[in-house]
Structure 1
Amino acid sequence: MEVRFGEDHVHFLSYGFRGASVHPTGTVTPARIRDADWNAIRPEIRTALGETLFVPRERKADLEAFCRRHRIAGASRSDTWADLLEPFLDTRIDAEQERATIGRLNRAGFAPTEITAIRRRLAPLMLAYNFGAMVWEWVHLGLFDLLTAANAPVIDPALQAGLGDRAAFYGWTMAIADRHP
């Protein structure tokens, strides 16, 4: 992933997430940006259409300066995908943690049946990513990880193909990412 900041645009030179508006290359202008979180683990831009675009960590200061220059709001929010992907972490989740996770998802508008359906749909992919590809993440799997798994060459292409149309899958992930308590 490579990003360059111009005076009046952010240019993505190699954005590896198929389905993204900037894949494989593309430009975003301030008018298309709703807000940004330059303090996130993986800094991100959120577009007016609800798409989350990631920026390399080493460009954090550039993202912050760009946003301040163009009066783009800084906004930190929880990663709904981290709660949805929690069962695929390489750690044991106790009952109290699971109740708290389900509570956050419920406040974001997720019914128990929807949570189960999402997790069931993604289980083969996320298990292959975290365990089969030996990532062994035990703290946080979020939207970035999901998109990485859906595009990583180390994941069985049949699992990725099982996600359906790339643009539709990407749009689905973005719609869910935009839901938060």
Structure 2
Amino acid sequence: MTVTFGPDHIVFAAYEFPWASVHPHGILPASAVRDVSVSGRPEIRTVVGETLFLSHGDSSGLAEFCLRHGIPDVVRFDVWGNLLEPFLDTAFSAEASAATCARLHSAGLSQDLIDSIRERIASLMRAYNFDSMLWEWADLGLYDLLSAVNSRLVPASLPAELGDTAEVYRWAMEIADYGRAKAS
């Protein structure tokens, strides 16, 4: 995936998630960008709540683009990072798991919702991290979930078990937006 920053838009080429508004090639006007996160893996959030990913090398270009257009760089609560903790190759104490649930509750997710989300994606994420021998122990997030839904590192039958993958994409974006934050 590559991006080019135009004067008032971002051009995406070879975007890897087929359900995205910019797949495989698309133009995102500055007016469609709600906020971004430049640190870590750069992300764009659109005004409709879609999260779009960029490569690490695009951070400075994204920062300059946002500065020109007054787009806020925000720190958001990583909902999917917290939801996917049980699928890391790491043991968590009861206290750490409780703290994760407390963070998710403070973002507006009920315990029933947390449990149902984790149950829905359990087979997929176990296959993605363990059966594939990825063995990620520190961080899984929305990008990893979408990679798994895109059949990366997992048998194609597993994403199909979740239902229509375009619907799963929209559902994942809605969940991610629970982490919406104010500009920092």
Same fold (TM over 0.5): yes
CA contact (8 A) 1:18 1:170 kept: no
* Runs of at least 5 residues in structure 1 that lack an aligned partner in the other structure: none
1:162 and 2:161 equivalent? yes
Q: Secondary structure, in 3 states, of the residue corresponding to 1:152?
A: coil
Query: Which residue is equivalent to 2:64?
Result: 65
Q: Shift of the alpha carbon at 1:91? A: 0.5
Q: Distance in 1 between matches of 2:36 and 2:161?
A: 31
1:129-168 map, 5 Å: 129-168=128-167
Q: Secondary structure, in 3 states, of the residue corresponding to 1:23?
A: coil
TM-score normalised by the chain length of structure 2: 0.94
CA contact (8 A) 1:35 1:45 kept: yes
Q: Shift of the alpha carbon at 1:153? A: 3.9
Query: Which residue is equivalent to 1:79?
Result: 78
Q: Distance in 1 between matches of 2:147 and 2:83?
A: 16
Q: Secondary structure, in 3 states, of the residue corresponding to 2:100?
A: helix
Q: Distance in 2 between matches of 1:152 and 1:11?
A: 25
Q: Distance in 2 between matches of 1:13 and 1:24?
A: 6
Q: Aligned residues, how many?
A: 180
Q: Distance in 2 between matches of 1:101 and 1:16?
A: 30
Q: CA RMSD in A?
A: 1.1
Q: Shift of the alpha carbon at 1:160? A: 1.2
| Ranges of 4+ aligned residues in structure 1 off by more than 3 Å | none
Equivalent residue letter for 2:78:
D
Query: Which residue is equivalent to 1:172?
Result: 171
Q: Sequence identity of aligned pairs in percent?
A: 49
Q: Shift of the alpha carbon at 1:180? A: 2.4
Q: Shift of the alpha carbon at 1:71? A: 0.9
Query: Which residue is equivalent to 2:23?
Result: 23
Q: Shift of the alpha carbon at 1:18? A: 2.3
